[in-house]
Structure 1
Amino acid sequence: MESTEKQVEHGFAKVFHERVQAMRSIPPVLGIVWAAAPAIVAWGVVLRVVIALLPLALLFVSRLIINGVVAVVERHELLGLRFWWLVGLEFGLAILIAVLSRVLSYLDAVLADRYTHHISVRVIEHASQLDLTLYEDPVFYDRLERARVQATDRLVMIQAIGNLIQQMVTTIALSLAILWLAPWLLLLLLAGVIPGFLGETHFAFLGYAKNFRQTPLNRQLDYLRLLGGSKEAAKELKLFGLHKFLTDRFTKISETIRKENLALSVRRLRVGAALSIISTLGYYTAYAWTIWKTLQGGFDIGTLAFLTGAILQASGALQQVFSTLSGIADQALFLTDLLAFFDMQPTVKSKPNPLPVPVPILKGFEFRNVSFSYPGSSRKVLADFNLFLARGQRIALIGENGQGKTTIVKLLTRLYDPTEGQILLDGIDLREYSMEQLHHETGVIFQDFMRYEMTVRENIGIGRIEQLDQDQDIERAAEKSLADDVVKRLGGGYEQMLGRRFASGVDLSGGEWQKLALARAYLRDAQLLILDEPTAALDARSEAEVFERFAELTQGKMAVLISHRFSTVRMVDRIVVLEGGRLVEEGTHDELLRLGGRYATMFELQAASYR
């Protein structure tokens, strides 16, 4: 870690180059901001330019007023109407600055809301389009986490860009005024401010490098926080006495991060203090020279007031410009992950002008010499796999864990694409069809189904979101899955909030949650129904009740059932036995028992445990 920091420090030229390169990330983000609220952005820019020019106007009017007062005091001239008009103008300009600043704050607040909504929706939409395999990659998770944070945290940078516009207009206007009266003062101010900017640039890069290194550690801390406060883990944490183990690990990681942060902060403090002294010397040297020049008769009192005010404001504005630029460059470094995330494109997607999924499906699905390996792995989960699922047929996939059963389901629904071979629907490659329509014609309940902390209605209605307000359809789906008995016991009925995250929420048992998930699949009323361990969390009686209706619910549909319970697979038309990612046996329950192969062995082992 130390050697890495030394390399960064010694390569300052490279650092500066990377900071400049990072600024290229700003235009795309500004495009996102513009898309979020174009009218508000335009009015914000106009107001900032106006507000930026008003300080110079105030100084100019003040100069005229002061010279008018001097003329009265020293030369005993009479105050004319023009003088009072100037006083009124100064008062009006001050009011205008106050009012416009308030309006600008209002526009910034509105823009913040619009941008936060817009960018959050974009992140959610884009994440939903990416390949499922990416979610199994920890590197992608790091990038996704940084993108999520950057999506909203970069609001600071957007506001800083607005401030930079205002600061630069003010700085340019004041600098031109100083340049007109005393050109070399401007160079003196620049000489005092630039070192501070370079210092801030250097440390901002070190901060980015540090934060990048700490992303995996921060994810560990987030996980430990979640684990330490999770009701799912509470029982084991208490029974196994894991709290000290978790707190010790959290403390160790947190202390590592704290020491890194503190070391960088101390170095930044020391260098920043030294550079601040240089900047202050530059300002007061210019200030002292202006006073000396006035005493020598080079400037009148009004010009002295104008110049000292301009020098003070220009010095502050210059420092703000460089500081804001440094901050923007710092923020821009963090934009790389957000933009890289948006640049990621799915490989599993519909082709242009895809074929519509046939309604009804005439022949069925066919796996033809299909092999599949997860990205980054040479192990084939499926190898030369062949299977035909005919229209109206119900099959069960049987095999030990890790034999590719769930992978078959994900290939069938095009969450993955085969590494080799083809999956055909009515004789045409599945990749030729519209993914959206394929998913519309598929109802799935996975073993690791979602427990949505929403109302009962929404938990079921998510299965066919366009039917969310169709009471009869939702209630019928609940009846089919036996979830209606669960609903009857809830005080709020179908409007009952579920889970403990929100007020008045009620938690359910694993089996009750699973009945709601089954209801989602039944509500979908799709041509293909896939049940991956659909009764894993149910008791024996509930399981029997569910499968009593299985034949009725899958009548005329294609159905794929994955289950480790052999009592539940006997009612399907065909049982497919997997081993080593290949189909090794298939047939009815009775046929496979007579065969005396792998299925018969597994069935006997399970049956023996009930004797």
Structure 2
Amino acid sequence: MVDVTSLFKIPKQKTNAKFSLLIRALVFVWKTSKFSTALMLIIKVISALFPAANLFVVKNVIDGITSIVINNSSGGLRNLSTWIALLIGLWVLQHIISTLQTITSSWLNLCVEQNSQIAIMRKCSKFDVAFFENPTNLNMLQNAYIGSSGTINQVMTIFFSIIEINITLISFVAIIFRLHWGAFLIIIAATLPRILSNRYFAKKRWEITTGLVEPRRMSSYYSGLVIQRNVAKEIRLFGLFKHFFDRFVFFINQFRQIEKNYIRKQGVINFLVNLITIAGSSIIWVYVIHRAINGTISIGDIVLYTGAVSSFQGGLTAMFSFFGQIFQNVLFLGNFFSLLDLNPEKIEGALKGPADLISYRSGNVKPSTVLEKGIEFRNVSFKYPQTNKLVLKNVNFSLPPKESVAIVGENGAGKTTLIKLLARLYDPTEGQILIDDKDIREYDLESLHRIFSVIFQDYICYPLTVRENIGFGNIEKIDDISAIQKASKKAGAHEFIERYPNKYETYIGRIFQKSSIDPSIGEWQKLCLARALMKEEAPILILDEPTAALDVYSEYEVYKSFSKMMVDRLTIIISHRFSTVRAAHHILVLHEGRLIEEGSHEELMEQDTLYKEMYSIQADRYK
């Protein structure tokens, strides 16, 4: 015969791990609001005494009524009135406690939700860019969100409920033993199958939810595309709805059948378990009726005992259901705390400082706000984490300070990757990058980032105010309207901003405010260019395709102001527009990850170079 209980056994180490997670969750809640947590605990203890107290008082009310009716005497009215008054008092007290519980629970849930979001945000701020470009890590992050605020609140609620039910059950046990000790054993035996069932299905639920996170993310992505404003045009013009819908169905079908089997199996087992529960209740009811007929218990006792048995059985079922739920939620909590416990330096592709430094990520040298000797790449090669292809291969060059530099090459040549390495969003796989003759890993990372002012080609359009969109380029000056206006004028954005209804306080993007403005692509690029220009003191300005979306007039105006932007700083521009590139003092030409040419526009045009070929192809289009 198969030992059924073995199916539900969990190794001791795993059980200890779950208990540890439960403790961590409760500590998290306690630290969130000690007063509210303590108050909830007190409320639950008081609430736990109400069910048995109500049954006991109702029993005495019924016995009092029965005595008056049978004896046809009003002598027991005073005693009956006392019990009725006590019953009403209990109801009022229950209402007060219930109201206080609702208020306290709602406030505590809100605090926990906010603190869990804060914890995830702070943790994510410690990860390097490599973390967010790995799908496995994004799955972990998704699971952590599933296991954060809602789950912690559920664990907290369930834990308090378990405390309440246990105290209530103890009070019911005293009543049931008064009936017969065997009644207690029958209830336990009838409830045991439900205990095992709940535990089993809780574990299965966690396995299904965690194992299917990727198809759930993909189905959410495709369903989300259909409701996104910026995708609506292409869906209609390109007839994409059916494709997106079919992809959505494909991914939901991956977990629909598994869910269907789970629900069917759970339903069948719950039906059989309920039959056992009904059988146990029936035996006790027959015994109570038998004793009542024999006159060994009163009418009030019938209400007391059957109510206690029914409530005990329901409470016991609920308690172990709560245990199953808390087991399930603790498993999700593992995802949340796994993220919080994740060591940022262990992430593949994480930044690492020189071995002789105390900090694993960087040194503590503060870079100068004035570039003295410039930038040097020494034998730099790079491949992205979890890939084998080198994106940059043995790249060597030097850039003096206060020079304008253009980087050109075909798509995928490694231009943007080179900039990411220079700004130290990644570390080279091989080689060194130096600023002022010092390895950039020796610089304090936060201070190093301050010497760069960068706008990438995939710039972010924040659906916030104009002031914030520009001010994010130098967060310390986000409220300095004069500095923001100065940057916007250099970027050619001030004129159209002045036409907005609230000028620099106008919301843009049409997401949060009905009165928001929807800038054109060219206007967005000017706003983001202004953002990059907010760091006037930054000695290195990097512009990745800064005028790609601008018309010829806007581009002309922007480049007229570039000469002012480039004063006393090293400016690096990535562009496919050779009208932009040729104005640079020095040009780097990348091809398939290698630096194959460098020099001024004139020098490169005098030779048989790839640069000359690309320039000529573009120039021919204007002949």
Matched, 1:52 2:48: yes
Partner of 1:101: 98
Question: 1:487-545, CA deviations, whole angstroms, 9 ceiling, x for partnerless residues?
Answer: 13322311221112232222121111000000111112222211111111112221122
8 A contact 1:19–1:205 mirrored in 2: no
1:492-507 → structure 2 map (5 Å cutoff): 492-502=502-512, 503-507=514-518
* SS of equivalent to 1:392: coil
Residue 574 of structure 1 aligns with which residue? 586
Q: Which moved more, 1:517-526 or 1:254-263?
A: 254-263
8 Å Cα contact 1:151-1:338 kept in structure 2: yes
Instruction: State the alpha-carbon separation in 2 of the partners of residues 431 and 180 from structure 1.
Output: 76
Q: Following TM superposition, by how much is the alpha carbon of 1:438 offset from its aligned partner in structure 2, in angstroms? A: 2.0
Do the aligned residues in 1 keep the contact of 2:223 with 2:245 (CA within 8 Å)?
A: no
Amino acid at match of 2:374: G
Alignment of 1:54-453 (within 5 A): 54-65=50-61, 78-79=75-76, 84-154=81-151, 155-179=153-177, 181-347=179-345, 348=350, 352=359, 354-453=364-463
User: Structure 2 CA distance, aligned partners of 1:180 and 1:263?
Assistant: 44
Q: Is the 8 A contact 2:215 2:254 kept in 1?
A: no
Q: Distance in 2 between matches of 1:16 and 1:78?
A: 64
What are the Cα deviations for residues 94-146 of structure 1, in whole angstroms up to 9, with x where unaligned?
Answer: 21111101110111111121122121222223223222122222222222223
Secondary structure of the residue that 2:391 maps to in structure 1? strand
Letter in 1 for 2:133: E
- Do 1:164 and 1:324's aligned partners in 2 also have CA atoms closer than 8 Å? yes
Task: Please give the TM-score of this superposition, normalised by the length of structure 2.
Answer: 0.89
Distance in structure 2 (CA, Å) of the matches to 1:59 and 1:372 = 75
Match of 1:5 in 2: none
**Which residue identity does 1:192 align to in structure 2?**
A
Matches for 1:516-535 after TM superposition, within 5 Å:
516-525=527-536, 526-535=538-547
Q: Which moved more, 1:268-277 or 1:50-59?
A: 50-59
Name which of 7, 23, 44 aligns with 1:12. Answer: 7
Distance in structure 1 (CA, Å) of the matches to 2:95 and 2:297: 31
Partners of 2:172 and 2:527 lie apart in 1 by 68
Query: Is residue 392–residue 555 contact of structure 1 (8 Å, CA) maintained in 2?
Result: yes
- Give the equivalent residue in structure 2 for 1:539: 551
1:226-252 deviations in Å (ceiling 9; x for gaps): 333344444443333333333333344
Question: Secondary structure in 2 aligned to 1:90?
Answer: helix
2:594 partner amino acid:
R
Aligned CA RMSD, in angstroms, stands at 2.8
Q: In structure 2, how many angstroms separate the alpha carbons of the residues matched to 1:117 and 1:575?
A: 50
> Which blocks of at least 5 consecutive residues in structure 1 are unaligned?
1-8
Q: Specify the alignment match of 1:511 in structure 2.
A: 522
Tell whether 2:561 aligns with 1:549: yes
CA contact (8 A) 2:147 2:334 kept: no
Comparing 505-514 with 21-30, greater Cα deviation is found at 21-30
Cα distance in 2 for residues equivalent to 1:11 and 1:447: 58
Contact persistence 1:16–1:201 (CA under 8 A): no
Q: Distance in 2 between matches of 1:418 and 1:182?
A: 77
CA distance in 1, matches of 2:399, 2:328: 56
Deviation digits for residues 8-65 of structure 1, max 9, x if unmatched? x998346788984545432222233223222211111111111112322333444455
Which segment drifts farther, 15-24 or 147-156? Answer: 15-24
Asked if the contact 2:539/2:569 (under 8 Å) is kept, the reply is yes
| C-alpha contact (below 8 Å) 2:43/2:97 kept by paired residues | yes
CA distance in 2, matches of 1:497, 1:277: 62
588-597 vs 508-517, which moves further: 588-597
Which moved further from structure 2: 19-28 or 387-396?
19-28
Match of residue 487 from structure 1 = 497
Question: In the aligned structure 2, how far is the partner of 1:549 from the partner of 1:540?
Answer: 14
What SS does structure 1 have at the residue aligned with 2:511? Answer: coil
Distance 2:21 2:618 in 1: 60
For residues 42 and 235 of structure 1, the distance between their equivalents in structure 2, rounded to whole angstroms, comes to 54
Distance 1:299 1:448 in 2: 81
Q: For residues 297 and 53 of structure 1, what CA distance do their matches in structure 2 show?
A: 29
From the superposition, tell whether residues 296 and 11 of structure 1 become closer, same or farther in structure 2 (CA, over 3 Å): closer
| Segment of structure 1 superposing worse, 584-593 or 38-47 | 584-593
Unaligned runs of 5+ residues in structure 2 are none
TM value normalised by structure 1: 0.91
Give the match for residue 32 of structure 2. Answer: 36
Query: C-alpha separation between the residues in 2 aligned to 1:562 and 1:23?
Result: 54
- Is residue 19–residue 333 contact of structure 1 (8 Å, CA) maintained in 2? no
Residue 81 (structure 1) shift: 6.4
